[in-house]
Amino acid sequence: MLAMLLVVLDIRSLAQTSPEWTQRLVLVSIPDRKLAVLGNGQVIARFSVSVGAAVSPSPRGEFEIVSRVANPTYYHDGVVIPPGRGNPVVTRWLGLNTKGYGIHGTNAPSSIGHAASHGCIRLRNRDMEKLFTMLRVGDAVEIRGERDEEIAEIFGGDSTVAETRGAGEIGGQ
């Protein structure tokens, strides 16, 4: 039993130090309604997203992915929806180290590009399934509420001009 445990630990340490594995950074721009995945400082992928509505804004700051769940169960305000049809987070969940917040798909694709969620970051389902394969537990997430030079470089546009959108655009998760 001890030997098996040591082998498992040894395999985990090899995976983390493998040259193929590098920690990724997920950068979310709330004003742009965009998400980028960076590896070794280079943009690997960009996606359009939905962010928190004015009444339930997305948290800002630095976070870490603490869970990866395929076919998750949805929990919100005493409501529990099992995986499958009708589940608002659909097929993938990347949980952040702030309880109740994560990155997930949506059953309301028209919300993408708007401030419409309960604070989570939503992607189109096909984009979420692709993103899920790119990230691991321990990867960093930065959610930014203002544009700066780095955001402008990654997502385009002027770092001094933020796009303004309506406060109560679309309701949803």
**DSSP-derived secondary structure letter, 57:** P
- Least Cα distance to 156 among 46, 40, 38, 39 occurs for 46
> Cα–Cα distance between 144 and 28 in angstroms, integer?
6
Alpha helices, H only, 18-124? none
From the candidates 76, 104, 114, 118, give the one annotated as an active-site residue: 104
Please confirm, yes or no, whether 76 is among the known catalytic residues: no
Nearest to 136 by CA among 26, 50, 11: 26
Alpha helices for 18-165 (secondary structure H): 125-134, 149-155
| Residue 104 annotated as catalytic | yes
Catalytic residues: 104, 120
